[in-house]
Each structure stands twice: as structure tokens, then as C-alpha cells.
Amino acid sequence: MSDSTAISNSTAAEAGDSHHGEHPPYQRHHFETVDQQFDATNFAMWLFLLTEVMFFGGLFTAYLIMRNWYYPAFVEGSHQLSIFWGTANTAVLILSSFTMAMSVWSAEKRRRGSLVLYLCLTLMFGFTFLGIKGIEWHEKWEKHHIPGSSFSVQSFVNPASDPEVYKEYHDPPLAPDMAQKTEQYFFLYFAMTGMHALHMVIGVGILIFMIFRARGGAYTTGHVTFVENFGLYWHFVDIIWIYLFALLYLISRH
Amino acid sequence: MSEQHQEHEQEHHIVSPGVYLVILLALLVGTAATVAASYIDLGEWHIAPGLTLFWNPVVALAIATTKATLVVLFFMHVKYSTRLTKLTVASGLFTFLVLIGMTLADYFSRAWGRW
Amino acid sequence: MSAATIVSLPDQSTATIPKMNFLSKENGLLSWLLTGDHKRIATLYLISITFFFFIGGSLAGLIRLELLTPQTSLMAADTYNKVFTMHGVIMVFLFLVPSVPATIGNFVIPMMVGAKDLALPKINLLSWYLYIIAGFMVIYTMAAGGVDTGWTFTSPLSTHYLNTHVISTGLAIFVAGFSSIFTGLNFIVTIHKMRCPGMTWFRLPLFVWSNYAASILMVLGTPVLAITLVLVVLERTVHIGVFDPAYGGDPILFQHLFWFYSHPAVYIMILPGMGVISEVVSTFSRKRVFGYTAVAFSSVAIAVFGFFVWAHHMFIMGISNYAALVFSLLTMLVAVPSAIKIFNWAFTLYKGSITFETPMLYAFGFMGLFTIGGMTGVFLGATGTDIHLTETYFIVAHFHFVMVGGMLMAFLSGIHFWWPKWTGRMYPEKISQLAAIVTFIGFNFTFFPQFILGTLGMPRRYAAYPPEFQALNVFSTAGATILGVGYLLPILYLTWSLKYGAVAGNNPWQATGLEWQTQSPPLTENFPETPVMDHEAYDYEWLERQEEKEVASVG
């Protein structure tokens, strides 16, 4: 319920007792004060992020064990990932976290124009990330590194057949059974980056919704809860990527 | 509006854009550092016969953790948040470490197996 | 004050159910399906889980019927596998996990903390819808032919060797898991942020502490189950290879991830039940729970330690000896807080004014049966004995003692205890006491022989068994029949009481606790005014003074 008359209502709320007194239209009736609502929903978002930490935790555990069992395959698999695009994506997400933090600042300072600008920048960075991911995945498809019936271990059994990568890393050829484990590396790669990308897509969707609402002034009248809580979610997705980058791309490049 | 809010437990301390900018730069530097470090062979530590620790992944994870900490403390405002928020973050981290740590402890201590 | 009962009802010739209450506030299907009122959502949950309980119970009946004879007489072995799997899945995920939290907890916790509703009413409603969706998916699975992996989905049986509906069941539980997560999340936020003025942590009823601890487990543990199920689905569909040795995976990894949730899950199931027992034992001994702080902290301790012991389900599966040692030691530790609670309840009874209304009968049943079940857990926690007892009927008996003799009795205790508050009517006391006793007798006949069967070596999950085990199995099935009667009776008389039960009034049990200081059934917003908590929990002297004031002012 965005309402430009909310500003005048909020002073009345802070003045007296809260029973059936006036309170801002964005305050739900089961909360006594706006602050209680903010605290409660903020805490709820943090608890939700805890569930996400444990959710990705299971994936990380599986990854760590498989990586230690099949280290040579994982090394050569990771050489197939582009360090350029990976680093670029990391920088893009870090920038998007910055612009998201600036969005929250704008909402707190009640600057509608600034808020919309920074949300749009965040959205742009989000799309950029997904676009780069698309480029990377497409490259995997072209090289027959998508796990499944079209997967080919050619680049690992005979690394010289992949001149670009071979020039950089001079990987030794893998025995067929270890080479087969590169498919597992790519499975985990797609599962982890795919799960992460799904969270990005959901974030992008909510961002678009927020931009429309922000333009109408919904978040610059004192009700910053939605933007702040979404910011927490967005930063969390960034943190997951920081770890994915370190674990998937940087296994061993020397 | 501000006086009412200051009394309340959840401070609406507004972090300045300057702080955000510094953190942004720190994160980008950290990214460059971690990429650079992955190109250098940092060696290993032979703890015991058959038990070796390679430094590259340790450094990569350390840098990632530092970056994550900066995001949590500053972008996510945890440094300026209540004790409850800090406790919540810590408990999530703790449970995550228990999952990974105790599971890996089983794998590391198996007499059979691939370690 | 009569020694036989503490029930104090208003004058039945003039008493009526209050006209304005949460049930009468709005009418129509949509007012129920789109409600934000935690009490209505609790009611929706109560109806839903009762429905699934009877499906799960019927499956149990089929199991016991099959086990009357040593051969696979009633159904093929594969069918038997499906029956016990669906029984486990439904009972664990669709009944036990949501039982006390989503029904009684949803109903009572906002009132116990003095709030108008839970912190996130829409999330609460979403939680119920997720539960219903999960329920439909399980029904679909049963109709489509069921799944026969056992509720534990052990790989590689579930990922590689079977062609049954593992995926739809896995996805159903995934959805049910999120239902549970949202309930727990809601409780934690409510308990931290919505307590009324004066309601400090140590003035909260112990029921709130227990549900708080269970909610922590729900929030931190359930997501790991969720990702495990996702990986199982991926394993079956695209052969991702993390669990299947044929593709280089490790089946024990599945078990680590599965039990990381499923062990805390048993504490999710029992802790709210323990909370009920604290309330009931206090009320029916007219005494503050002995060692309030110890009981409160032991609830949290169970939650924390519960995360460190999961591999005691895996002692024979191939974990390292050192891991087995560590997990066994930690398992011994986690038994301590549960024992502390039993001691404290026993000391609450000591020198209390004990009466034997139905909730108290169920509570006594709980204390005895949970103690037996818990102690047999210690035998299982010791690796040496576990090697012989695991995967036998000893395990089956152990978890049925704690879950059915413990948790289900606590659930029934709570339903009877809060029934007057929920509906405004009393259930009929004599028949309900009879049902409680019948349940207790039936339970012991059903499950005690299974301890003996287990030590004699009868394996679990087998449709056929050596003929020397038949006598005990017949005994067990006979007990199950009695148990079934004991569970059927409450459905009948509780439904009867909705129309014909005595009008309960605000506080038929003369209990302390904020929920008892308001009308039955409660108003939608719970209290006419925000309550202020100015006394300790279980303060029976405060209650006496309140009653004196009321008598003085009515005149």
C-alpha cells in the first residue's frame, strides 16, 4: 500500500499509544510499531538466508569430497573454464553488490531518483552476469562438455586436441577412468552454477518489480524494509558466487 | 523521525557511500589477488607421511572468506546491527562448518579410501 | 477444592460460547483459505494432519496384518516394501514433524507470548499450502504405484536399482520441508520480536522454549534434506554421479547428508511434545515446573547437540572407526538433556497436588514410554551393541517407543489440554480417560515384543521371517488392533464434543499462561488489549489472587 500521505501519518503513530491509533498504511495490524515490523522482517530474512547457507552447504560438501577423490580430473576440468569470463563475472557481481548497497542508502535517504538509478544499475549488472554465464555455458555446449549423452572426454584423454587450453596449461593426458570423472566435475559445475543462476534469476525478477514500485515512490517514504531485505538476499547470492569462483575456477592454474 | 529511531534497539545507522566505495575497491583488489595467486605454485606442507596440505586452495579460500566477511559486515550492515543479528550469522556459519567438517572428518580418517 | 479434579467450569445452565470468536468472525470458504489468523491456520493443519495420520495408520495396519504369518501371505514382498515406505514417509513428514508445532504451536504460541498473531501470517498460510501440495504429491505417488526404498531413501538402491516413484516422493518431501522451514522461521521471529511488555525470556512458558529449540533445528537442518533430495532426483534423472558408485560417487555421502537432517528431525519431532508435557505436568500438579531454567536450557542443548550425532545411524555403513567413536561419544552426551527433563518433570510431581484428567494420563504415558525408548537409544548409541541391534526390530521398537509412546501421546495430551481453549467445549472426560488407557495398553502389546524380536535377531523391513518369530509377531499385531481402537475413540468423541460438549469457559484447568486468561474460543486478535506480563511463569499464587479479584468484582 504505497501512499504519499504516509509521511504525515507516521508522526501521528509515534506520538501516542498504538491500539486503534493511526499508523502508517504499510504497518501490518499485528505489529505494535513500525520498528517492530522492520526488526521482525529483517530478522526473518536473515533466518531465510541461514536456510540458503545450509542448502548450498550440502552441495559444497558433495563437491569437496568429489574434488579430493578425483583431483586430476577436476584440475583439467577447471582448465576448460575461462578465467577471463569468470573474473569478469566476479567483478560484475561485486559491482552489483555495491550498487545494491547504494540503493538501500538511497531509500534510507529518501532519494527516489537515486534509488531508481542504483536499482537499474544493479539490474543491469545482474543481466550482464547472466549473459556472461550464457556465453560460458554455450561454449561448454560447443566443446561437448555438457554432461550427458553428448559429453566427450576427448579433451582430457588427449589434451593436445584442444590447442587453446593445451597451450596454457600443458595438461598430461588422463587415463580413461579418471577422464570419465571430468563429467562429474562438469555435473557439479552446472549444478552449483545453475542453482546460483536460478537464485540470480529470482533476484532479477524481484528487482524489476522493485524498480516499478520505486518509481512510484513506495520505498522513499520511510518504508525501506523491502529494499533492505532484498539487499540482504542479493549480497548473499554474491557471496555464494565468491566461493564458487574460488572453488570451481581457481583449482590450479599453475 | 530520527530521535525515535535512535532509542530503538535496531539502529538505523546509515552507512556512508564512502565506506561502500572503499569496500568495493577492497573486493576488486581481493579478486585480482586471488586470480594472481592461482597462477603461482605456493607449495605444500608435509604434515605427516601421506598427509599433505597444499597452500593454493587454502589461500584461495582465505581470500574468498575475507571478501565474504567484508560483504557481510559492511554491505549487509552486520557491523552496525544488533547482537542478535551477529549471533544469527555466527550460528549459520557454525552449523555449515559442522556439516562440512564432521563429514570430511569421516572421509579423512578412513583407512580404506582414496585420500 | 475437590481433590478428584481441578476442572472448573462455568454454570452450564447459563454459560454459552462467546459470540465473537475466531471461528465465528467470518464465514465462507475463502475466509478460511485466505486467512492470516494463526488459529484458523492451526485448525486447517489439525484437520489435514489427522487425515494423513489415518492413511499412515491404515498402512501400519497392513504391515501388522502381513506380519501375522512368516510367509508373504497378504501381499508380495515388493508391495510390502512400498507399504512400510509410505507408512514411514507419511508418518514422519506429514504427521510427526508438523504435529505439535503446526497445530498446537501455531494456535497457542502467539497467545503465550502475548501477541496478536505470528510475525509473518502470510508465510504461515503459505506453509500450510506447501504442506497440502506435499500431501497431494504423496497421494499421487501412492496412486501411481508407490515407492519402496524405505523412508530413508538409501542410495544406491534409490538412485540406481529401483524403478519406483522415488522422484515424486523426493519432490513431495522437498515441498514439505519448506513448509516446515517456514513454520520454524515464523516461530523464531515471533518469539524474539513479538513478546508483550514484561514477557522476558524466563517468564515464557516452557512450551515456547521447546518450540523455539525445535524451530532452530527446522531452519538449520531441513535445507540439507532439501539439497539431498535434489541431488537424488539429479542422480536418477541425469546420473550426476555423486552417490552412485557406478559413476564414481559415494553412497555414504548420501547417508551423511540425509542423516544430517534426519537426526535433528527426531528432535524436531520430540521437542514440541516435551513442551506439551511441561505445561500439562505443571497444571495437573498445581506446581511450577521444577528447575525451570534447567528445562529451558536443556531444550536448547538438545537442539545444539542434536546436530553433532547424525552418524550414529551409520555405524555399520562404512564410516571410519574414528568417526564412529566420536559420534558414539557425542550420542551419549545428547541423552543427558533429555534425561534432565524427565527428572525435572518427576520432581515437579513430587509434593504436587496431582489429578488424573486425560491430558495428565497421556503425560504419564509419555514419561514412562519415552524413558524406555530413550534408554534403548543408549544401547544403540554404543557401537558394540549397535552392530547386533541395528536394522533389526530393536530399532523399530526404539523409535516407535519414542515417537508413538512419546511424541504421539504428547500430541494427544496437548490436543485434550487445549481443546477447551480451541473449541470452547470440554471433551467427555470418562471416555477420553478410557481411550488413553486403551492406547497405553495397546501400545505396549504392540511394541514391547518388538524389542525382544530385535534382540533375537529378526531383521526389519522383511515381509517374511523365520517361523520361530511368529508368536511375538502375532502378539504385536493383536496389540496393534487395541491401539487402533485407542486412536479411533478420540476422533469420535472429540467430534461429538464440538456440538454436545460442556461449555468450557476461559480457564477450565485453572492454568497459568496468558492463553488461559482470555475467552474460549479466543478472539481473532487474541486479547482485547495488549497484555502486560507482571508475574513469573507457572505462578499459581498469582492465579489465585486473580480469581479472588474476579469473584470480588462480579457481584
CA distance A124 to A130: 10
pLDDT reading at A76 higher than 70: yes
Q: Look at B52-66, B87-101, C123-137, C206-220 and tell me which has the smallest mean pLDDT.
A: B52-66
Does the residue C181 lie in any domain? Answer: yes
pLDDT score, position B113: 52
For chain C, the helix, strand and coil percentages under 3-state DSSP, each to the nearest 5: 70, 0, 30
- Are the beta carbons of C116 and A59 separated by less than 8 Å? no
CB contact under 8 A, A243 and B14: no
Supply the mean pLDDT for chain C.
94
Residues B23 and B43 in one domain: yes
Residue C116 CB partners (closer than 8 Å, separation 6+): A29, A30, C110, C525, C526, C527
Cα distance between residue A151 and residue A153, in whole Å: 7
> Is the bond into C156 cis (omega within 30 degrees of 0)?
yes
* Candidates A51, A62, A66; nearest CB to C181: A51
CA distance C181 to chain A (A): 8
Residue C3 covered by a domain = no
What is the percentage of chain B residues whose pLDDT exceeds 90? 64
Is A55's CB within 8 Å of C227's CB?
yes
Nearest-Cα distance to chain C for A97, in Å, is 25
| Residue A207 pLDDT exceeds 50 | yes
CA angle C142, C144, C147 (to 5 degrees): 55
Cell of C321: 572407526
- Taking the C-alpha atoms of residue A165 and residue A148, their distance in angstroms, rounded to an integer, is 22
Range(s) of the domain holding residue C47: 30-554
Kindly report the three-state secondary structure assignment for every residue of C200-232.
CHHHCCHHHHHHHHHHHHHHHHHHHHHHHHHHH
Question: Could you give the 3-state DSSP secondary structure of residue C526?
Answer: strand
Cell of B35: 586470480
Residue A163 in contact with partner chain C when CB distance is under 8 A = no
Cα–Cα distances (Å) from C512 to C204, C533, C537, C546, in that order, read 11, 12, 7, 10
Q: What pLDDT sits at residue B10? A: 44
Q: Which chains share 3+ C-beta pairs under 8 angstroms with A?
A: B, C
Regarding whether B11 and B23 lie in a shared domain, the answer is yes
Longest dimension (CA), chain B: 66
Task: List chain C residues with CB under 8 Å of B111.
Answer: 320-321
Same domain assignment for residues B58 and B100 = no
* Residue of chain A minimizing CA distance to C116: A30
Assigned domain for C349 exists: yes
Q: What is the pLDDT of residue C163?
A: 86
Model confidence band, residue C553 (pLDDT cutoffs 50, 70, 90): low
Residue B57 to chain A, least CA–CA distance (Å): 7
Mean pLDDT rounded to a whole number for chain B = 86
Range of the domain at B12: 2-79
Residue pair C310/C263 in contact by the 8 Å Cβ criterion: yes
Query: What was the pLDDT predicted at A222?
Result: 82
Instruction: Dig out the grid coordinates for C272 from the structure.
Output: 514440541
Residues 6+ apart with CB under 8 A from C354: C284, C285, C360
Q: Do A239 and B68 touch (CB under 8 A)?
A: yes
User: What are the chain A neighbours of C116 within 8 Å (beta carbons)?
Assistant: 29-30
How far apart, in whole angstroms, are the C-alpha atoms of residue C341 and residue C370? Answer: 11
Residues B36, B8, single domain; the answer is yes
CB contact under 8 A, A54 and B21: no
Mutating which of B8, B21, B23, B75 best tests the A interface, going by the most A Cβ atoms within 10 A?
B75
B112 to chain C, closest Cα gap in Å: 9
* Residue ranges of domains in chain A, CATH in brackets: 31-249 (1.20.120.80)
DSSP A175: P
C-alpha distance across the termini of chain C, in Å: 21
Answer for the pair C482, C438: CB distance below 8 angstroms, yes or no: yes
Closest CA to C554 of C10, C8, C5: C10
C-beta atoms of C193 and A188 within 8 A: no
Regarding whether B89 and B69 lie in a shared domain, the answer is no
Convert C153-182 to b/e letters by CB count within 10 Å (16 or more is b): bbbbebbbebebbbbbbbbbbbbbbbbbbb
Chain centroid, CA C62 distance in Å: 23
Grid cell for residue A64: 569437496
**Tens digits of per-residue pLDDT, C192-207?**
999 999 999 999 999 9
Please name the member of B56, B99, B114 whose beta carbon is closest to the beta carbon of A252: B56
Mean pLDDT on C96-102: 96
Q: Please tell me whether residues B12 and B46 are part of one structural domain.
A: yes
Q: Which residue of A has its CA nearest to B101?
A: A61
Interface residue of C25, C159, C189, C243 to substitute, partner A, most A CBs within 10 Å: C189
Within this chain, do residues B30 and B63 fall inside the same structural domain, yes or no?
Answer: yes
Report DSSP letters for B13-73, one per residue.
Answer: PPPPHHHHHHHHHHHHHHHHHHHHHHTS---EEEEETTEEEEHHHHHHHHHHHHHHHHIII
Residues B19 and B42 in one domain: yes
Helix (H, G, I), strand (E, B) or coil at B5: helix
- Read off the C-alpha cell for A78: 577447471
CB–CB contact B88 A47 (8 Å):
yes
Q: Rounded CA gap, C455 and C469, in Å?
A: 11
Q: For residues C15 and C506, is the Cβ–Cβ distance under 8 A? A: no
Q: Given CB atoms, is A161 within the 8 Å cutoff of chain C? A: no
Burial classification of residue C440, based on how many CB atoms lie within 10 Å of its CB (0-12 exposed, 13-18 middle, 19 or more buried): buried
A55–C contact, CB cutoff 8 A: yes
Tens digits of per-residue pLDDT, C335-364? 999 999 999 999 999 999 999 999 999 999
Chain C contact for A191 (CB, 8 A cutoff): yes
- Do B92 and B59 sit in the same domain of this protein? no
Cβ within 8 Å, pair B106-C323? yes
Give residue-wise pLDDT tens across range A96-144: 999 999 999 999 999 999 999 999 999 999 999 999 999 999 999 999 9
> Does residue B46 sit in the same domain as residue B10?
yes
Spatial neighbors of C291 by CB under 8 A, at least 6 apart, are C340, C344, C347
- How many domains is chain C built from? 1
- Give me the pLDDT at residue C373, please: 96
Query: How does pLDDT run across C158-195, given as a tens digit for each residue?
Result: 988 888 999 999 999 999 999 999 999 999 999 999 99
Shortest distance between the Cα of C36 and any Cα of chain B, in A, equals 27
Domain assignment present for residue C391? The answer is yes
Considering the domain architecture, whether residues B57 and B93 belong to the same structural domain is answered as no
Q: Could you tell me the pLDDT band of residue B3, with boundaries at 50, 70 and 90?
A: very low
pLDDT recorded at residue A19:
47
**Which of 17-46 (B) contact A at CB < 8 A?**
17, 20-21, 23-24, 27-28, 31, 34-35, 37-41
Q: Is the pLDDT of residue C29 over 80?
A: yes
User: Which amino acid belongs to residue C293?
Assistant: T
CB proximity list for A72: less than 8 A, separation 6 or greater: A174, A178
Asked whether the beta carbons of B100 and B63 are under 8 A apart, the reply is no
pLDDT attached to residue C550: 72
Retrieve residue A161's grid coordinates. Answer: 586436441
pLDDT, tens digit, 9 for 90 and up, residues C250-286: 999 999 999 999 999 999 999 999 999 999 999 999 9
Contacts of B110 in chain C (CB under 8 A): 319-320
Is pLDDT above 80 for A212? yes
Per-residue pLDDT at B8 exceeds 50: no
Q: Which helix (H) or strand (E) holds C300?
A: helix C292-305
Which chains does C contact via 3+ CB–CB distances below 8 A? A, B
Beta bridge partners of C20: none
The minimum CA-CA distance between B58 and chain A, rounded to whole Å, is 10
Residue C534 to residues C196, C293, C522, Cα–Cα distance (Å): 10, 18, 21
Same domain assignment for residues B74 and B89: no
Distance CA C436, CA C441 (A): 9
pLDDT of residue A4: 38
Number of folded domains that form chain B:
2
For residues A28-35, give the mean pLDDT: 87
Give the per-residue pLDDT at B111.
66
* CA–CA separation, C541 and A11 (whole Å): 42
Distance from CA of B61 to the nearest CA of A (A): 7
Distance from CA of B19 to the nearest CA of A (A): 10
What 3-state DSSP class applies to C5?
A: coil
Angle between helices B83-108 and C251-283 (to 10 degrees): 130
A–B CB contacts, 8 A cutoff, strictly below: 135
Q: How long, in residues, is chain B?
A: 115
Q: Has residue C16 been placed in a domain? A: no
Residue C406 and residue C484 in contact, taking contact as beta carbons nearer than 8 Å: no
DSSP state of C426: P
Residue C496 belongs to domain with CATH number: 1.20.210.10
- Separation between Cα atoms, residue C288 and residue C511, nearest integer Å: 11
**Which residue would you say has higher pLDDT here, A82 or B10?**
A82
Cell output for C102: 503446526
Amino acid occupying residue C278 = S
Q: Give the cell for residue C292.
A: 525451570
Is pLDDT of A1 > 50?
A: no
Per the CB < 8 Å rule, is B103 touching C256?
yes
To which residue does cell 501381499 refer?
Answer: C75
Nearest to A57 among B41, B85, B96 (CB): B96
pLDDT at B4: 39
pLDDT (mean) for C222-240: 94
Neighboring chain B residues of A247 at a CB cutoff of 8 Å: 60-61
Query: In this structure, how many other beta carbons lie within 10 angstroms of the beta carbon of residue C14?
Result: 7
**% of chain B at pLDDT higher than 70:** 84
